[in-house]
Amino acid sequence: MNHLVAPSILAADFANLQRDIEMINKSSGDWIHVDIMDGMFVPNISFGLPVVKAVKRHAQKPLDVHLMIVDPDRYLQDFKNAGADGITVHYEVCDNLHRTVQYIKELGCRAGVALNPHTPVALLGDIIADLDMVLIMSVNPGFGGQKFIEHSYKKLREVKALSDKLKPGLLIEVDGGVDESNAAKLVGAGGNVLVAGNSVFSAADPLAAIAYLKKPSA
């Protein structure tokens, strides 16, 4: 399938968030990526439920909500109600991951599981058949603008191999340091959803930056 692009509003201008959401609406991007950080699982605090609701009011594309929080089960229904179309939780914080994934699906959302850079892909072997998406973090979560971790290519290939064997058609998302210089290689390694923040919102022409990432050769 053709790969998707999900601009990350963590890199948007928070004082002009409606403007930036409307830019994504006009773009060739597919989803709006929304990072939720609690200051506990990651050393930063980002958006909460009121902001997600506000984004949803203006968004014309699905909200791809990435929960970088402890005890995500407490908030799954709330994020669904706020407008999440897909919800991704972290392997590292879920004691009963299968139950969490099933709950996300029962809410009618796309169910994703994210892996931090140090977490082995092999740990997904017993759950991948139940997932809609795997998210490979190609930076340490918490802040935008970090340098891409080269080992991420290997992890993408490992997820793709698991997908081919156990879950054909799995969405394989990559988040962190994605830009024009590595997009093609990421897609070649198996990534089919590219999350891009700084490379979009710091560009002179964000619409053109998104269009470049969407190119079949990207």
Which residues are the active-site residues?
Answer: 35, 175
Q: Which helix (DSSP H) or strand (DSSP E) does residue 87 occupy?
A: strand 86-90
Q: Enumerate long-range contacts of 206-211, CB under 8 Å, 24 or more apart.
A: 206/7, 206/20, 206/23, 206/27, 207/23, 207/26, 207/27, 207/28, 209/180, 210/5, 210/7, 210/24, 210/27, 210/28, 210/29, 211/27, 211/28
Give the other-Cβ count within 10 Å of 209's Cβ. 23
DSSP assignment, residue 84?
-
Tokens (6 digits) for 27: 């773009």
